[in-house]
């Protein structure tokens, strides 16, 4: 009898120790994970009763919490233009579906729970004040953001603008977009219906095409190929390259052709400058074959390919194909085959050239401040890579100026301001329209803005799709907004 009681007592002690160990583990090591779960209703109820800090452009809130007379105490609102112009940046704050964008990545700052704000929380407890979140100030330029959003009206696409010398993201727009207010409401039936509608929309309005989607960059990638060529020491802007109407490729009977079916500017041989001016596929295919895939890949990586940027939004990494064969290398040199890039990445390419070859790390959050305006964090510019030498950057700049003044980029011209740019038209399949691209910076001699525009669909005839005609006018409006034109 005593033996049975001892065994039962030992089992009970073990179970109690296991319970204590599990409780300690959950509180010490899993608490933050459990609190972050979207299905943790207790935490959601508590967080929805916090005066969440605003997300700002300058001093203007693009997301803020307002007092409301219901169980949650505060309503998250997105007041500027209904929230749609800034939705890819702010994301959403929903009781049912959690968070996205800055509402997700800056959540601990916005709700005041971040470890850096521990002292503030202690003061709140002592003074019997409700917990209040910090403000997050973005780097966005309101004029550029709204200009980009307006210029993309009726189109499916994206715009990213960067300040070349710092890496500040001045604009990030994706269309079609959505109104985050529909997901932030406290009528959960309406919120559920809005979520289903947005997610079932074939146009994918909740997709951040600017930073989280990959596309073939087409001829805008010729800037990377030109950078590799000039950096190799084998080429100058005046070096003559083969540029026939069609280029024989090794290991295949498939030809690489120029878009217009003709040779480059009336000659089977053209300088690198003329080839970029007219966006000659065969010329850059020839250069790609000469340099080899490794040189192209290394140059692409110096501009940021292969690296995830902008952790504030979880941007995806752009890609250059691994170990392409010779014909695939020629296709890759013109931004086709398996080359994939975000508009953010192609804006970084232009910004790097604009900044003397120095690619700055892009960032979107400028500062975080408590409710009493004490600075929690302040982002400083940081160099990412020296993609090319200042000399090569200067050569590329002049070649890009020539593209806008005399070549395919003429629609990107701005009166009284010298613009450097490159167009692109990326083919995918006969069943869908090509992607139209334009990347540029201005003023060419003292760059204040670098921009990339990608048009996925503009509802125009296939023959009317080109980077110069569709994307360049959008970029022009964004640059003019920043430059005060």
Q: Which of 343, 336, 348, 345 has the alpha carbon at shortest distance from 216?
A: 336
| Number of separate domains in the chain | 1
- Of the two residues 278 and 430, the one the predictor is more confident about is 278
Q: What percent of the chain stands above pLDDT 70?
A: 90
Q: Is residue 399 part of a domain?
A: yes
Which domain CATH number covers 415?
A: 3.40.710.10
Q: pLDDT value at position 358?
A: 98
C-alpha to C-alpha distances, 403 to 223, 299, 399, nearest whole angstrom? 11, 21, 6
Contact 445, 428 (CB under 8 A): no
**Does 371 map to a domain?**
no
The residues, any chain, with a CB within 8 Å of residue 212's CB and separated by 6 or more, are 313, 314, 315, 316, 342
Smallest CA-to-CA distance from 276 within 389, 345, 167, 353 is with 353
What is the tens place of the pLDDT at every residue in 12-68? 788 787 777 776 666 656 655 655 555 556 667 777 778 899 999 999 999 999 999
Which tokens belong to 45? 């109820």
Domain contains 427: yes
- Does residue 473 sit within a domain? yes
pLDDT digit string, tens, across residues 119-177: 555 555 555 456 688 999 999 999 999 999 999 999 999 999 999 999 999 999 999 99
Query: What residues are annotated to the active site?
Result: 219
Residue 462 lies in a domain: yes
Confidence grade of residue 436 (pLDDT, cut at 50, 70, 90): very high
pLDDT in tens, 296-350: 999 999 999 999 999 999 999 999 999 999 999 999 999 999 999 999 999 999 9
**CA pair distance 291, 296, nearest whole angstrom:** 7
Residue range of the domain that includes 360: 218-364+380-483
Q: Which of 386, 214, 172, 388 is nearest to 306 (CA)?
A: 214
As a whole-number percent, the residues of the chain with pLDDT over 90 amount to 72
State the Cα angle at 385 between 382 and 390, rounded to 5°.
Answer: 105
In a domain, 59, yes or no: no
Q: What is the pLDDT of residue 30?
A: 63
pTM as predicted = 0.89
In a domain, 194, yes or no: no
Q: How confident is the model at residue 428 (pLDDT cuts 50, 70, 90)?
A: confident
Structure-block tokens of residue 316: 């995806």
Has residue 15 been placed in a domain?
Answer: no
């Amino acid at each position: 009898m005593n033996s049975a009681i001892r065994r039962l007592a030992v089992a009970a002690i073990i179970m109690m120790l296991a319970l204590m160990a599990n409780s300690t583990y959950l509180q010490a090591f899993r608490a933050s994970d459990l609190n972050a779960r979207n299905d943790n209703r207790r935490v959601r109820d508590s967080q929805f009763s916090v005066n969440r800090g605003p997300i700002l452009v300058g001093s203007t809130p693009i997301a803020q919490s307002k007092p409301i007379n219901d169980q949650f105490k505060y309503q998250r609102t997105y007041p500027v233009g209904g929230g749609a112009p800034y939705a890819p940046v702010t994301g959403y704050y929903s009781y049912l579906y959690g968070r996205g964008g800055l509402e997700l990545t800056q959540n601990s700052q916005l709700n005041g729970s971040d470890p850096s704000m521990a002292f503030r929380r202690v003061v709140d407890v002592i003074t019997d004040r409700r917990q209040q979140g910090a403000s997050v100030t973005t780097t966005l330029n309101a004029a550029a953001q709204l200009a980009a959003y307006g210029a993309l009206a009726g189109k499916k696409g994206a715009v990213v603008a960067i300040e070349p010398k710092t890496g500040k993201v001045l604009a990030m727009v994706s269309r079609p977009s959505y109104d985050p207010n529909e997901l932030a409401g406290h009528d959960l039936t309406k919120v559920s219906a809005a979520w289903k509608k947005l997610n079932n929309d074939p146009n994918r309005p909740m997709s951040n095409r600017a930073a989280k989607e990959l596309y073939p960059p087409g001829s805008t990638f010729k800037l990377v190929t030109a950078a590799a060529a000039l950096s190799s020491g084998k080429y100058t802007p005046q070096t003559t390259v083969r540029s026939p109407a069609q280029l024989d490729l090794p290991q295949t009977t498939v030809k690489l052709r120029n878009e217009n079916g003709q040779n480059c500017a009336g000659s089977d041989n053209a300088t690198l400058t003329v080839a970029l001016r007219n966006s000659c596929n065969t010329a850059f295919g020839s250069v790609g074959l000469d340099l080899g895939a490794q040189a192209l890949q290394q140059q692409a990586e110096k501009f940021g390919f292969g690296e995830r940027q902008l952790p504030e939004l979880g941007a995806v990494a752009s890609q250059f194909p691994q170990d392409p064969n010779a014909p695939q290398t020629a296709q890759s040199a013109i931004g086709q085959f398996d080359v994939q890039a975000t508009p953010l990445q192609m804006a970084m390419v232009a910004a790097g050239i604009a900044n003397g070859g120095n690619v700055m790390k892009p960032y979107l959050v400028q500062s975080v401040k408590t409710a009493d305006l004490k600075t929690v964090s302040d982002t400083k510019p940081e160099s990412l890579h020296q993609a090319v030498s200042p000399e090569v950057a200067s050569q590329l700049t002049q070649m890009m100026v020539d593209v806008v003044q005399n070549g395919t980029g003429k629609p990107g011209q701005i009166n009284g301001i010298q613009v450097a740019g490159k167009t692109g038209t990326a083919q995918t399949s006969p069943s869908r329209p090509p992607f139209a691209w334009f990347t540029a910076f201005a003023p060419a001699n003292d760059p204040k803005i670098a921009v990339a525009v990608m048009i996925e669909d503009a509802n125009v005839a296939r023959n009317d799709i080109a980077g110069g005609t569709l994307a360049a006018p959008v970029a022009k409006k964004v640059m003019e907004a920043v430059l005060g034109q």
